[in-house]
């Protein structure tokens, strides 16, 4: 499962403004607040800026408080807007607060805000590096609503203006963020390289480098950069968040849990920070901790996104009615721009789960229709939050659970291999032997789950998909079997097809056989391909005759 709240779009570090005040102590206080935001200490930052406003209710101070609400894991647009409006009440010409209000619009999906930000910059006559920087930062904050080219233009001008004194590190690493949005990792890394010698806390830059390497799937380089971040500042919370993402990728669930414990230790207990932690626990399939953290803050958060996360947790537990109630609450309370295709997909899966136990024929049909329609929306958007077809197949055919595997047939060989796998969860040789042992014992749930672990570690190794398909078929879940066989067919490399003709022939036949009543055209196509590979395969010969009579 991928990050269910588009977690990859949230910035690891959000930058530091350079604002020069005559009063040195005031500047220090501002920098303390900005450093807190950069370290995911949002509660501390809000306290800091609120205290500054109490002492001096300036437009700039209101902007930085409002900006903190935008930078937290899930933006609080209402509180950000309130603060920016107070800033404009203090100074109706405040360019920063005008940018803040436009950023709120952009975050909500109104792309006309890009032109508004551009107009603010034009009205400022492009003299203030801070205005240029904050405009650019706003244009890089949201993955789906942004303008990286314009951001790069503003940042280059900000850098030019700042060169009279010293270019702040965050100007360069925000430039890197803009290049990331353009899918230009080379220029992004070059910008981070320029930020590194200028940064007072190099952990911020190393963490960004690490997440960039992760985005490029260069995992070893990612780990090296994250390790450097922790080495230079062991208290820098965002580095542990990045490390958790790395360990989740490698199915190192225990390590990821420890990373999240460290993140919690060095961030602060702002409710929205804890909400992010709950999401990460969920992504790590640590549903117990995810629920415990969410329960702790549920009544402290007004943002309806809490209902969405609760819905995912309940869906994972198979509590479809409760999941529906929470998802309906989220959709009814959230602004429409915040409802994602993945949310529609989840609603579809919940409907499928409800349909499975519905006894009224008309209601059952309506739920199944809703499931297909809403899952189709997620698939059309190419959303990969969940494996939609496989999740649907699991619901309809009965998904394999660890409890089912543990209660199924076992023997001394399985018990010994389970201990080895627990001690070394990335040992694919041990996992292969365990999956095979489960199959030999006809513990199909155990085989399905173990082949899935092999697939996570070796996603390009085709035989694992075939074996998982066979296990699903033996367990009676034909839809899931069909999807696994199709993945096997797609994963076999052209150079290996000749050596695997017979097994490919069976895979094509299996898909054809499962599809013969639901998709005749597909069944005819697949059985023909089966016979092309092995014309003597009698089951395929009979099915072909049956389909074409």
pLDDT along the chain (549 residues), means of 10: 39 33 46 85 90 93 94 86 96 96 92 94 92 94 88 94 85 90 88 89 91 86 94 93 84 77 80 77 74 85 85 85 94 84 92 90 92 91 81 72 81 94 86 94 92 84 92 88 91 88 92 90 93 92 90
Q: What is the pLDDT of residue 399?
A: 60
Q: Domain boundaries in the chain? A: 307-395, 407-548
On the CB side of 9, CA atoms within 13 Å amount to 15
Burial class (CB in 10 A: 0-12, 13-18, 19+), 494: exposed
DSSP letter (8 states) at residue 9 = G
Specify the DSSP class assigned to residue 70.
H
Rounded to whole angstroms, how far apart are CA atoms 231 and 228?
A: 5
Structure tokens at 461: 């190794």
Q: How far apart are CA 485 and CA 288, in angstroms?
A: 33
Q: How far separated are the first and last CA of the chain, in Å rounded?
A: 43
C-alpha torsion sign, points 473, 452, 292, 35: negative
The pLDDT value given to residue 401: 65
> How distant, in Å, are the alpha carbons of 21, 28, 310, 325, 359 from that of 25?
9, 5, 44, 51, 70
- Rounded to 5°, the CA angle 330-334-335 comes to 150
Closest by alpha carbon to 352, among 384, 401, 394, 310?
394
Residues sharing a CB contact under 8 Å with residue 119, sequence separation 6 or more, in sequence order? none
pLDDT for residue 452: 86
In whole angstroms, what is the distance from residue 473 CA to residue 475 CA?
5
Distance of alpha carbon 15 from alpha carbon 172, whole angstroms: 10
Q: What is the pLDDT of residue 284?
A: 66
Name the DSSP class of 336: G
- Could you give the CA distance from residue 366 to residue 355 in angstroms, rounded to a whole number? 8
Asked if residues 342 and 378 have their Cβ atoms less than 8 Å apart, the reply is yes
- Looking at domain 407-548, does it have CATH number 1.25.40.10? yes
Q: Which two tokens stand for residue 240?
A: 């542990």
Q: Which residue has the tokens 């696994």?
A: 484
């Amino acid at each position: 499962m991928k990050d269910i709240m588009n977690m990859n779009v949230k910035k690891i570090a959000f930058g530091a403004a350079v604002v020069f005040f005559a009063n040195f102590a005031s500047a220090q206080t501002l920098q303390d607040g900005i450093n807190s935001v950069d370290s995911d200490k949002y509660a501390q930052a809000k306290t800091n800026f609120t205290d500054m406003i109490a002492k001096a209710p300036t437009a700039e101070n209101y902007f930085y408080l409002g900006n903190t609400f935008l930078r937290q894991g899930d933006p609080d647009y209402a509180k950000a807007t309130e603060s920016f409006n107070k800033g404009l009440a203090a100074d109706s010409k405040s360019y920063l607060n005008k940018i803040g209000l436009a950023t709120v619009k952009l975050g909500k999906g109104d792309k006309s805000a890009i032109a508004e930000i551009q107009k603010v910059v034009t009205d400022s006559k492009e003299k203030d590096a801070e205005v240029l920087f904050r405009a650019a930062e706003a244009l890089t904050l949201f993955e789906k609503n942004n303008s990286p080219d314009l951001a790069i233009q503003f940042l280059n001008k900000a850098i030019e203006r700042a060169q009279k004194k010293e270019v702040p590190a965050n100007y360069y690493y925000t430039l890197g963020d803009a290049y990331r949005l353009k899918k230009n990792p080379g220029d992004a890394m070059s910008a981070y390289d320029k930020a590194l010698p200028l940064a007072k806390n190099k952990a911020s830059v190393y963490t960004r480098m690490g997440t960039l390497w992760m985005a490029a799937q260069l995992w070893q380089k990612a780990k090296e950069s994250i390790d450097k971040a922790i080495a230079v500042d062991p208290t820098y919370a965002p580095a542990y968040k990045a490390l958790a993402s790395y360990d989740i990728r490698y199915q190192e669930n225990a390590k990821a849990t420890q990373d999240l414990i460290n993140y919690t230790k060095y961030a602060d207990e702002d409710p929205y920070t804890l909400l992010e932690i709950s999401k990460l626990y969920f992504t790590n399939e640590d549903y117990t901790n995810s629920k415990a953290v969410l329960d702790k803050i549920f009544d402290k958060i007004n943002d309806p996104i809490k209902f969405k996360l609760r819905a995912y947790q309940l869906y994972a537990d198979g509590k479809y009615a409760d999941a529906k109630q929470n998802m309906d609450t989220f959709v009814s309370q959230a602004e429409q721009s915040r409802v994602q295709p993945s949310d529609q997909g989840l609603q579809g899966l919940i409907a499928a789960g409800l349909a499975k136990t519905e006894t009224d024929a008309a209601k059952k049909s309506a739920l199944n229709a809703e499931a297909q329609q809403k899952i189709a929306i997620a698939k059309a958007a190419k959303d990969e939050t969940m494996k939609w077809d496989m999740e649907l197949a699991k619901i309809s055919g009965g998904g394999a659970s660890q409890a089912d595997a543990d209660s199924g047939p076992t023997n001394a060989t399985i018990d010994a291999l389970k201990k080895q796998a627990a001690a070394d969860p990335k040992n694919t040789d041990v996992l292969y032997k365990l999956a095979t042992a489960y199959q030999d014992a006809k513990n199909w749930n155990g085989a399905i789950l173990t082949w899935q672990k092999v697939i996570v570690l070796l996603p390009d190794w085709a035989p694992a998909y075939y074996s998982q398909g066979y296990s699903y078929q033996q367990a009676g879940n034909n839809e899931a079997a069909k999807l696994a066989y199709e993945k096997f067919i797609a994963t076999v490399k052209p150079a290996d097809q000749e050596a695997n003709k017979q097994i490919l022939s069976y895979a094509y036949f299996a898909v054809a056989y499962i599809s013969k009543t639901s998709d005749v055209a597909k069944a005819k196509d697949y059985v023909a391909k089966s016979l092309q590979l092995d014309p003597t395969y009698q089951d395929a010969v009979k099915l072909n005759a049956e389909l074409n009579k």
